[in-house]
Amino acid sequence: MVILTLNCGSSSAKYQVFDWNNKDVIASGVVERVTQEGGSITHNARGKNEYKMNHECPNHTIAVELIIRTLTDPEVGVISDMSVIKVVGHRVVHGGNKFSKSVIVTPEVIETFRAVQDLGPLHNPANILGIEAAQKVLPNVPHCAIMDTAWHQTMPDTSFMYAVPYEWYTDYDVRRYGFHGTSFLYTAKRASVILGKKPSETNVIIAHIGNGASMCCVKNGVSFDTSMGITPLEGLVMGTRSGDCDPALAFYMMRKAGLSVDEVDSALNKKSGLLGITGKYADRRDVSKAMEEGDKRSELAYKIETYRVRKYIGAYMAALETKPDALIFTAGVGEFHHIVRAGICKGLEHLGIKLDPRKNEIARTRNAETCISTDDSPIKIFVIPTDEELVLTEDSYALMKGSYDIHTKFTYTFQSPDYVNKGRAEGLKRDLEKNPALADIIVKPRT
């Protein structure tokens, strides 16, 4: 049986095809520049060379049709026809406070997404378009929605409420929602496996650091607090997003520089963060290279970003009211950028977080979970490569079978100490050939 997962953004459509019987990814790819000129698809299938093709996609329906044609193509495809796909899972960024777990898509569910799309104006319209496009192409299979916000519905009101007029919450749903939920769910569950603890007894602090970045305080296995807010703008310094700043800053710039609401919105979301400070770079690799070449603004951007994460670590250690079991790094930067990890952990020794510089430099892989703390560190530091697509896949399968429930009452395959990701196991062999020392820091699940 085959499961298709789709992650439709405003100008892209990512996909993955999972063979449930063999528990293996058989294809993945992305359609880029949807609704824009110069569209293309990049397709990777197991055992075949990467395939790229230019193809205009003026809307998401055509993008999904292109994905389907590619998947069933006699030469580059991986399935004979669409009848083998039994369920489709869709990533939805914002579910508001309406959903605490994944759901099968119904007309009522779609309408709920429309009702809250003002809370996620950059993401939800594209998510809805992707669902509707896939339903047209695959009308006879269940379509499931997996919300980023659902994981955070366990937060207490002291964590999710803002100190603003209470009517804003009751009348307009103003509150902290949080994002990156599927990533936090996966890494929190894997941390429990590595630590040999029940999820309900696991306390960790997770830093999901990519172009977008957020943190999660996981208390007794559930989200207790998170850095992003009503939108993904709040919290950490990101590639192009400002993160935390004085709300009155927007009003000041509107009055001082004559900026419109849309211009301020664009500046804070698309022209700030690392890009805003450096004036050139949103990618940490570019920032690091510029630092090495003596660029002071890049050095400042690096220091501001890492300092912000350190502040959140300290805040979440206080919020846990107990010593955390581990600090976890995940997502692209968290998994590969040892300089950023080093900057974040600098000076945290007095809190029991001791980074081993050698282990930290070695930890560069998406195919294994590693420990980068010193042997005597009271709090472990793990790098756990995230797998959001697997969460989408497993939720969709369970919803189709009727066995799904909220994550505190549901067990994922990756919660088993014996779990093996076949694709990552093969990739790890190649990583070890290039970086043999990696074997010394790979962590094994406790049994």
Whose CA is closest to 201, among 219, 216, 186, 213?
A: 219
- CB-based contacts of 90: which residues, under 8 Å, 6+ apart? 5, 6, 7, 8, 105, 127, 130, 131, 134, 143, 144, 145, 146, 392
Ramachandran region, residue 134 (left: φ > 0; alpha: ψ -120 to 50; beta: rest):
alpha
The enclosing H or E element of 292 equals helix 284-292
* 3-state SS class at 115: helix
- Rounded to whole angstroms, the Cα distance separating 276 from 292 reads 19
Distances (CA, A) of 61 to 40, 65, 166, 389: 14, 6, 41, 21
Rg of the chain on CA atoms, in Å: 22
C-alpha to C-alpha distance for 229 and 176, rounded to whole angstroms? 4
CA–CA–CA angle 284, 289, 293 (5° rounding): 140
Q: How many angstroms separate the CA atoms of 101 and 62, rounded?
A: 30
Tell me if 134 sits within 8 A of 90, measured CB to CB.
Answer: yes
Give me the active site residues, please. 148
Tell me how far apart the alpha carbons of residues 151 and 223 are, in angstroms, rounded to a whole number.
7
85-92 and 2-8 as β-strands: parallel, antiparallel, unpaired? Answer: parallel
How far is CA 251 from each of CA 201, 254, 270, rounded to the nearest angstrom? 44, 5, 18
Distances (CA, A) of 440 to 225, 313, 363, 437: 33, 27, 10, 6
Closest CA to 243 of 254, 232, 253, 251: 232
- The DSSP letter of residue 134 is H
Residue 349's CB is within 10 A of a number of other CB atoms, namely 13
Tell me the three state secondary structure of residue 268. helix
For residue 388, give both structure tokens.
């959001």
- What whole-number distance in Å separates Cα of residue 66 and Cα of residue 233? 32
**Distance in angstroms between the alpha carbons of the first and the last residue of the chain:** 31
